[in-house]
Amino acid sequence: MQKLTKELIEANIGTVLTNEPLANHTTWKIGGPADILIEPTDKVALSRSMKIVHKYQVPWQVLGRGSNVLVRDGGIRGVVYKLANGFSHLSFQDDEVYAGAGYSFIRLAVMAGKEGLTGLEFAGGIPGTVGGAVYMNAGAHGSDVSRILKYAEVLLDNGEVMQMTPESLAFSYRTSVLQKTRGIVTEAVFKLAHGDRKEIARQMATHKDRRRLTQPLTMPCAGSVFRNPPGDHAGRLIESSGLKGFTLGGAQVSEKHANFIVNRGNATAQDVLNLMEHVMDVVEEKFHVRLVPEVLVVGEG
């Protein structure tokens, strides 16, 4: 790992950190260290670093802004890529939006609305980055990424760059082929429609107010923890099971929204995992429905 680190630093590809605590890079404020954390300066630097990492046959993972992910307490072996400032570009061409993978998905919705473009209103309450939203087919309020994405630019493990359409991404509920294919989203192009700025702003404000009133935004969390089962809502099932406010270690089922787990200040990843398992068991016993996690669990215990 020392040789790899040395070569990465010498390649001048951006920030290279070793044994970096991932609790500093996740919205849950939880997670052990990454052997190497890379914040590449741009796509060229990312491609160069991937070739070096590939040469050493070291495993790698991508971390955007660290929402919707739980990093285990043992951390992540190998390389973690964090796409940040070098991937935060945004531009508009008529009704199309070009956004870097590191751009905030919420801010993207706001900026599109200011341009009078409709189609991204649903994203106004979804934390994380554009790249993460494509990876997970993020959605809310009856819409999702698959409905508005024209294509995503993806850098594959072998250095090849592909433009992947919604069809080739094989989108389904909170899922894409990227969860099985080794590649990194570097940019996404969205096809929107011209709309009324006032109506777009009204919808955005409604979503924002609902989010503020119903979600624990002042505490470290990762967004929705479980997928909604067909025809129902995970939050309703958890709340109806009497689990709102239930605590294990430093992790707690939010008192505001039962499908959120919050870090009360000293939670470990194991606390969260234990609480998730307890929630799944209780809901299954009461409703005969086994909840499926929406958050990605990565790293070593």
Can 174 be counted among the known catalytic residues?
yes
Catalytic residue among 174, 187, 241, 254: 174
Handedness of CA 46, 51, 56, 57 (dihedral sign): positive
Can 294 be counted among the known catalytic residues?
yes
| 157: Cβ contacts below 8 Å, ≥ 6 apart | 50, 54, 182, 183
Q: Which of 154, 108, 138, 184 is nearest to 295 (CA)?
A: 138
3-state secondary structure of 89: coil
Residue with tokens 């670093």: 49
Query: How far apart are the C-alpha atoms of 36 and 128, rounded to whole Å?
Result: 22
* Cβ atoms of residues 100 and 130 within 8 Å: yes
Catalytic residue among 104, 224, 241, 254: 224
Q: Please state the φ and ψ torsions of residue 270, each to the nearest 5 degrees.
A: -65, -35
Query: How far apart are the C-alpha atoms of 271 and 28, rounded to whole Å?
Result: 12
Residues with catalytic roles: 174, 224, 294
